[in-house]
Each structure stands twice: as structure tokens, then as C-alpha cells.
A and B are shown apart, each in its own frame.
Chain A
């Protein structure tokens, strides 16, 4: 297993190694020690590698991940797994702002709390947060699922498109055009699947409420001026 110690090895060497895997490579498990809050750790993965990061990272860890399975054994700075395409990213600690921003696929699991704008502009990613999330989460979320076992802050799902939001705790307030919706069997099934994938045990899907778009702001209309 290649081990990169970022206290002595430049970040460029790690990311270069992750991007330059020859076809058919067998040694696909990487370990990163002493990440020391470096930015863009394991960014741009485009192969089915496994990366274990032993410590906390800065901005954009696993940014644009496409097929990798990254675990941060610590906390993550802003924009973790931004624009993820596929694969998985697991944060054992907390995540800062914009976690999973614009993600188009894959699974992001945050075992602690996530700060504001979690899942902003999400485009297909699935996000499961074991703790709470901050304000303006899922802002302009287009598709995908955001599952929150704890509470959500102000203006959840503001200007939401087709992303589906599930919150087990309280929601401080809903954003413009975001409403509570009926939990139908297909939603319960999807929620079960996501909880299972995210390693959540002892929590039933029925404990959650579903939120989605009222679809009243989909077409620009001057009569909606009060909503902005």
C-alpha cells in the first residue's frame, strides 16, 4: 500500500500518483498521513482507488472524485467532495461549508455535523449527515438526496429544484419554495437504502420528514417577487 506522508512529501506527488495509475493496476489502496489541513488532498481521482486520510484536511478534499472511495479520519474543510461524479467520500468528523457542493453522483457521508450550504446546488449526489446541518443547505439543489439525522438550520432547501431532502430532527426554517411533502413508499425505500449504505443502524426511515420543491418558482413570474 503506497503511503504518502504530507509532512515531507509534496501534495503534488500524491495527486499525481492517484491520477497516473496504469491500466490494470492492482495496488489501488492509498494511505495519507499527516494531512495537516492541506487543501485539495486526493482531488480529481478518476479510478476505483481507496484512500484513507489519517487526519483532518483543508478545502476541496476529494474534489471531483470520480470512482474513488475516500475516508477522512478527521474533519474536512470547505467544499469536501465538491462536484463528485461517483464513488464515495466518508468524513469521520465534521465538515465545513459547501460539503458536496454541485455533486453529480456518488455518496458523501458525514459522521459529524456539516456547516452551512451543505449540498448547495447538488446535481445528483447523495449526502447523509449523521449530525446536524447549517443554514441554506441544499440551496438550489437540482437532484439527488440529502439525508440529515439531526437538525437543519435556517432556509433549508431554498429555491430547490428536484433534490429530495429527508430530515429526522427539527428544521429551523424552510427556504423559498421548499415545502414538506408526503413520504411515499418509494421514498421510504430510497431512504432505507441510503441509511444502509451510510452505515446508519437503529434508525427507521419513518422517523424522517421529506422536503421538496413546491415548484412555484420554476418559471420566472413577476407575481413571485415577494418570494425573493
Chain B
């Protein structure tokens, strides 16, 4: 009797999936762990899991394209003498000068101003580019206090006390040496080329009672004019929101774990924090329990990609949202059109750690490295032409990311960093061991 034995394909392990296996092999080969940008890549419940109920008998709709839909929001009405009014409740999230170039900060300021919304500074301080081109600029007050000075505090429209961010609630940051140009180093008052650690907690206060005094100090220094936001990463949103309100915040900014970072440990990004969607209701509940909903405004960020996401966040009780990663993508970050350029460094990586990319990139076209702050963009003419090209086509200014192999590294010559993409992957390795990027730039987010 013949017996047919059908082919059974090997079953892949859900626990040891392809990525996990590759990571174990990479760790074994290099002896290092992974530091990267962006937010969590794991699948988490998100706005896609919600749908709107459309109007029918019990609810009637507004006439599309005819009846007015006012999206104006006022932020900071609780204590500030000068609350800010946004026509569009989609703000640009805080991103550091250093991680982003001056050009990118200016572009974001110009775009936000056109859209009637605000931009936000980041670690590293305020640049003239973003102040000059942002009608409404929020100044982040961060644990590192890099570039912090009272003049900038006063020329801001609002102040955001950053306690944490969604990608790494409770964690500090690391701006790697390749991104430290003369200007960035000067603003941060640190030597050029070193890896700049951003502190995980503020140097002069701990806990909600201290925060209340700190906020009072900031109000005194700015004569109670500016709205004061408190930004927290998604961790314990009910209590953190309640404590921010207790400490005197005008606005609470809540960033879920899909929110991006410039660089931190992959294991931290993937395993610490709460999905944005899960943060919103507890935060709104805290505001409602305190009788402060709509009095203290709530800004939600972390994985906001579209108008639908915005509408869902607002429907859940937020007053506004902030976008970071989406704004960078709009600027050209991780655009597939840069794939060829990305493959160049990749070939270089494959050549092994002894190989070096030329210190100065080819200036024939506006590449990512030419538009990032830590790189020599060639002659003044090249710079002018690049900026002209990028500014002539808003949103096509090239990826905002650091490149690798600039030749700028720290005092230890035996050490190398290779930064494949600010939104992608960073590998740090030791000489004699081979590090190899495994993601194409267009697949990094």
C-alpha cells in the first residue's frame, strides 16, 4: 500500500523568530547591544484598533466642506498670563538641535507657522533658526539643561518641563559623537566628538513636591506669562497626570512608547513604557477626577501618523497631539529614494571595521549627511545650493539623520561608532569584530 507523506514546512518559532535569532547571532559575533533611534517596533494596540461611529439617526453630521469645523485650541489657560492659541491642534514635538540640523529645525518652524501650530525645542537648547521661523515656540526644560539660559526661556511662548518621553520613560539619552559639530558642542558646553549623555532626571529637583516649587520658580522668572507644560513618558499615566496637575502644570504632554528618540537602548525602547492608546484614558480620567479636564490641557504623542489618529486621540479626551517621527518622515527621513546612498555605507561596513569612509561626503546632491548638523556639507556654495534646493521644495529637504564614518570620533582611536540612521540602527563595536547593519534605511521605522 502506497503511503503519501505530505510535505510539512518547518515551523518557525514565535518565541525565537527571525529577528530574535539574528539579534542573538549579532550579539554573539560583536559582544555588544543595540542602541537605536525611533520608538517601539513591537506591535501594540494602536489607533488602528478603533473606529468611529458615523452619524445616523441619533447623531447628525456637519455638512462637509460647508459648515465650519473650528479646530482652535487654547493651551495654558490655567495660570499663564499669555496662553497660546493654535489654529491646528497638531503640534511639532520636541526634538533636539544636534539630533536634527538647523535646516531641519527651521523647516519645521516654517511649516508649523503656516499650519497655525507650534514647534518645540529639544535637548541642546534653542536655535535662532527655530525661534526666528516659529510663530509659536515651546522651550523644553530638560534634565541635561544643555544650552539652557533665561534669555531663551523668556523669548519662548511656552515652557515644557520634560520629565520623560515615551521611548524611554525614566531613561536618559545619548547623542553620539558623530553628531557633535562645533556648533552643537559649543551650545552644550562639551568637547567636540564625545558621546553626550543626557541625564535621566533633573539635577535640582526630585518628586512632585519639588516639581511644584520648580514650576513656581520658572513662573517667577518669566513673570507668570508663559504656559508651563509637563511632559511625561507613558508609565503610570493616571498618577503622573494627577501629580503634574498638582504640581501646577498648565498642560500635560503624554508620550506613549511609539514616540521616538534619537538614540537609546533597543531593549529599553521595546520593553519599557505603555502604548499611546493605553495612556490616554487613564490620563483623561485623572483630569476628570480632579475636575481639571479641559482646564489643564492634554497633549498626546507617540505614533500619531494621520488625521484619523488625531481625531481618535481628541475623541478619547485629548486637547491636542504632537508629532515627531511623522514630521521627520515628511522632511524626507528614511525615504526610499536614499536607499542607494544608504547602501554605500553598508558596503563600507561590510569591508570591516578597519575600513573608513571618506571624511567628506560627495556634495553632488543634497544627501542626508549634508543636511545634518554634524557633517561638512562642502563649500559655502554647496551649502547655499543645498539649502536653496531643500527650501524650494518644502518637505523634500532630505533625511534628517546622522550618517556614519565622518572621521569624527572621540579621543579613543581604537573605538568606532557607526550610525546607520538616526531613525534606524546604531551599532557600536570593538576593533577586530565586525558590525553589520541589518536594516535598510527605508525599513527602519
Interface of A toward B, CB cutoff 8 Å = 11-12, 15-16, 19, 39-40, 43-44, 46, 58-60, 63-64, 66, 78-79, 82-83, 85, 97-98, 101-102, 104, 117, 120-121, 123-124, 139-140, 142-143, 159, 161-162, 215, 218-223
* B-side interface mostly: loop
Whether A120 and B204, one on each chain, are in contact in the complex, defined by CB atoms closer than 8 angstroms, is yes
| Stretch among B126-134, B162-170, B192-200, B299-307 lining the A interface | B192-200
CB pair B221–A219 under 8 Å, yes or no, is no
A140 to B31, CA, bound (A): 27
Binding site for A on B (CB under 8 A): 31-33, 35, 144-145, 148-151, 153, 174, 176-177, 188-191, 193-195, 197, 199, 203-205, 210, 213-214, 216-217, 220-224, 409-412, 415, 417, 428, 430
Q: A15-B220, A15-B221 are in contact. List 14 more A-B contacts (CB 8 A).
A: A12-B224, A59-B210, A59-B217, A82-B203, A83-B150, A102-B145, A102-B148, A117-B203, A120-B203, A123-B189, A140-B197, A161-B191, A219-B411, A220-B176
* Contacting pair A98 B149 (CB below 8 A): no
Cβ-defined contact, A44 with B221, below 8 A: yes
Nearest chain B CB to A132's CB is how many angstroms away? 20
Does the CB pair B409–A60 fall under 8 Å?
no
- A140 in contact with B189 (CB, 8 Å): no
Q: Nearest chain B CB to A85's CB is how many angstroms away?
A: 6
Q: Is the CB of A218 within 8 A of B194?
A: yes
Known contacts A102-B148, A221-B415, A40 near B220 by CB under 8 Å: yes
B215 to chain A, nearest CB (A): 10
Q: Chain B residues with Cβ under 8 A from A79's Cβ?
A: 204-205
CA distance A222 to B193 in the complex (A): 18
Q: How far is the CA of A43 from the CA of B221 in the complex (A)?
A: 6
Q: Is the CB of B31 within 8 A of A222?
A: yes
Check A101 against B204 for contact (C-beta < 8 Å): yes
CA distance A117 to B206 in the complex (A): 13
| Given A19-B223, A40-B213, A46-B150, A219 contacting B409 (CB threshold 8 A) | yes
Whether the pair B411, A44 counts as a contact (CB closer than 8 A) is no
B195:A98 contact, CB within 8 angstroms: no
Task: Flag if A124 contacts B223 (CB, 8 Å).
Answer: no
Q: What residues of B have a CB within 8 angstroms of the CB of A85 in the complex? A: 149-150
Write the nearest CB–CB distance from B313 to chain A, whole angstroms. 34
Q: Looking across the interface, which residue of chain B has its beta carbon closest to that of A64?
A: B150
A63 neighbours in B (Cβ, 8 Å): 217, 221
Q: Chain B contacts of A124 at CB under 8 A? A: 189
Contact partner of B213 (CB less than 8 A), chosen from A12, A39, A97, A219, is A39
A115 smallest CB distance to B (angstroms): 12
Residue pairs across A and B with Cβ atoms less than 8 A apart, 12 shown, are A44-B150, A59-B214, A59-B217, A83-B150, A97-B204, A101-B204, A102-B203, A121-B145, A215-B411, A218-B194, A220-B417, A222-B32
Instruction: Let me know if A40 and B410 touch, CB within 8 A.
Output: no
- Smallest CB separation, A176 vs chain B (Å): 12
Q: How long is the Cα–Cα vector from A213 to B195 in the complex, in angstroms? A: 15
A40: chain B residues within 8 A (beta carbon): 213, 216-217, 220-221
Q: CB distance B150 to A159 under 8 Å?
A: no
Q: Are B189 and A142 in contact (CB under 8 A)?
A: yes
Chain A residues closer than 8 Å to B221, beta-carbon distance: 15, 40, 43-44, 63-64
Q: Which residues of A have CB within 8 Å of B223?
A: 15-16, 19
Within the complex, the shortest CB–CB distance from A4 to chain B, in Å, comes to 14
Contacts of B217 in A (CB 8 A): 39-40, 43, 59-60, 63
Closest to B143 in A: A121
Task: List A contacts of B189 (CB < 8 A).
Answer: 104, 123-124, 142-143
Given contacts A142-B189, A143-B189, are A60 and B32 in contact (CB under 8 A)? no
